Chains A and B, each alone.
Chain A
Amino acid sequence: MSTGLLASAISIIIVCIGVLGLILKRNLLMKLLSLNIVNTATILFFVLIVYSPGDRAPIDPSPGLQYADPLPQALVLTSIVINFGVLALSLLFTMVLVKRYHTLDLIKIEGFVKREFEEEKS
């Protein structure tokens, strides 16, 4: 069992905390924060799962030496940028919702939307 494995176990615990916040919190901003925590922990997991002490960075490799795996690092790059885009867009939608309903509480917003829908129907 290496240090990388232990650390990636910790990153899984952080993912669990983020998922709990994502489901249990009623505040929209808190939900987005939890989503960000999940993403950061996933990045941590990807980087650590291939880490073992003594590995070199995969730059200018020469045969016969131990190198870290370049694949997860390249995937993490994608994850970071997409997280940035998703976070920006969802903050924008949160702003729209707050401007319209003046609350961040998801259950209250659901009630407002339901009421509007029923008024439209009748």
Chain B
Amino acid sequence: MIAMGNYSVSIKSLYVVTIVILFGALTIGALFVAEDTGISRLGAVYIERSQEISNISNAVFGVYGMYRFYDTLFELLIFSTAVLGITIFSDLEPSPGSASRGLVESHVVSASASFLYPVIAVFGMYLAFSAHLGPGGGFAGGVIGGTGILLLALAKGAEETARKFREDSMKQLEYIVLFLALSVAILGALYPIKVYQDILGTGVITLVNISIAMKVFIGTWAILHFFVKHRGEV
């Protein structure tokens, strides 16, 4: 039975390797046969429209913040579902209680972390605030802020960092921010482009970006903190 099992497994992996290599060769062949048409028609339309709308100069933000805003919204919902799952599990399962073990005792790390964190936070906020004007965006800004907190946790210990940032009230803020994004989405469904251009101007764009950034920031930190808590120290 064991010999039989080994035999069937190796034949199966041979099939798998063959199929995957075939798939790769076919896809690459299709890639080289297809003619290069340059920019897609839809992309050209998006770029054309972002010339017309004066207060959005980043065409990528135009795509994910206006024309495909539902994509972004449901993406936020999926992300918050993942964070919710981790939070629920974190409440159910007590941490092993070895939280103060293995802290990095290096003066270079702690000194540079307290010096660098404000810079990182300001950079993340800048990316979130100016997403409609240049490169950046709410997601990038939020992730930069969250990983900056990870740096702080590396230097000062995760529990102390969580206490400093008042994690419990942050988690409530997360739902408020989600509600904000949802209400902007409903407004946008009622008055598609007008919301951005005429009625509320640039303020609502910044509001959307800031709410996305806050959501991603809190979610990233919640996930990182969970894994840090259940493994020990960073």
Please list the residues of chain A having a beta carbon within 8 angstroms of any beta carbon in chain B: 1-2, 5, 8-9, 12-13, 15-16, 19-20, 23-24, 50, 52, 57-63, 66-71, 73-75, 77-78, 80-82, 84-86, 88-89, 91-92, 95-96
Contact = CB atoms under 8 A, between A and B. Distances in A.
Contacts of A52: 36, 38
Interface of B: 13, 16-17, 20-21, 23-24, 27-28, 31-32, 36, 38-40, 42-43, 46-47, 50-51, 57-60, 62-64, 68, 71-72, 75, 78-79, 81-83, 85-86, 89, 133-135, 137, 139, 216, 220, 223, 226-227, 230
A50 B82 contact: no
B75 A69 contact: no
A81 B79 CA distance: 7
Given A12-B28, A71-B63, A82-B79, A20 B16 contact: yes
A39 to B, nearest CB: 14
Contacts of B60: 58, 70, 73-74, 77
A78 B47 contact: no
A20 to B, nearest CB: 5
Nearest to A89: B82
B209 to A, nearest CB: 12
B75 A59 contact: no
Contacts of A67: 39, 47, 59
Given A74-B71, A81-B139, A92-B226, 14 more contacts: A5-B32, A13-B24, A58-B50, A59-B57, A59-B133, A67-B39, A69-B39, A74-B63, A75-B71, A85-B78, A85-B79, A85-B83, A88-B223, A92-B85
A85 B32 contact: no
B40 A69 contact: yes
Contacts of B50: 58, 61, 70
B2 to A, nearest CB: 13
Contact of A12 (B24, B36, B63): B24
